[in-house]
Amino acid sequence: MSDIIQMHLSLEGLKRVIEEAKANVPESKIAEYKKGITKDEAKRRLFSQIKANGGRITVTSSDGKDGYINKKSARKILDVNEKSIKSDLTLEQYWAIAADIVGLYRNSTEVLEHSDYKNRSNVEGIIRFVSPLYEDNYAYITAKVIKNEGQKIHDLEISDIEKIGGKLEGTLVGATKKPNPTPAANPSPTNNIQNV
């Protein structure tokens, strides 16, 4: 993947697509997200799914992007940090949401694709997805495109749509300010916004 940034939806397009996807979130899941579960229960649920699928779950997003999750990425998703969670949610609510990462990814929409700014040799790029939860809560999912492996579901943040829109815009602005390590080989970052 080159340094080109592709934002697949405008903020208004994102809001429209995500509002439509909210209809796919079952009431039982919403009730569980609101109630919350312990980290141990989230780990048990997620790891048992992974084990039942031979150590790796492959799932397809609503717009046809295959991704996978394994024990290593599940541990990363379950290890919450301050950027991972909205201030009005509890840790238990985060863990209930994280335990459903497969369902979240299945109901997600790709919103942004960019190169790996850390320049890791095994990472071809980063893809960001958004999945609705309930009310003004959304899952912002990051997948790393790993050479010879595919898209590894890597990170989960819970946020509101405006903050996610700000992150997307910040990625675009930040990319245009980053020095290009090999100017002759890579085109400069561009903003390919497509209104949906």
CA distances from 98 to 43, 50, 56, 78, 192 (A): 9, 14, 16, 6, 31
Can you give the length of the chain in residues? 196
Torsion sign, CA atoms 42, 155, 33, 95:
positive
| Of 66-75, 79-88, 105-114, minimum mean pLDDT range | 79-88
11 vs 120, which has greater pLDDT?
120
Q: What is the pTM of this model?
A: 0.81
| Of 62-66, 85-89, 102-106, minimum mean pLDDT range | 85-89
* Domain extent listing, the chain: 6-177
- How far is the C-alpha of 108 from the C-alpha of 103, rounded, in Å? 9
How do residues 23-81 score in pLDDT, each as one tens digit? 899 999 999 999 999 999 999 999 999 999 999 999 999 999 999 999 999 999 999 87
Nearest CA-CA partner of 105 in 32, 155, 180? 155
For the chain, give the percent of residues with pLDDT over 70.
80
Helix (H) or strand (E) segment spanning residue 21: helix 11-21
Residues 6+ apart with CB under 8 A from 149: 68
Say what the pLDDT of residue 193 is.
Answer: 34
Contact assessment for residue 196 and residue 9, using Cβ atoms and an 8 Å cutoff: yes
Nearest CA-CA partner of 159 in 135, 175, 193? 135
Give the residue carrying structure tokens 């999912």: 141
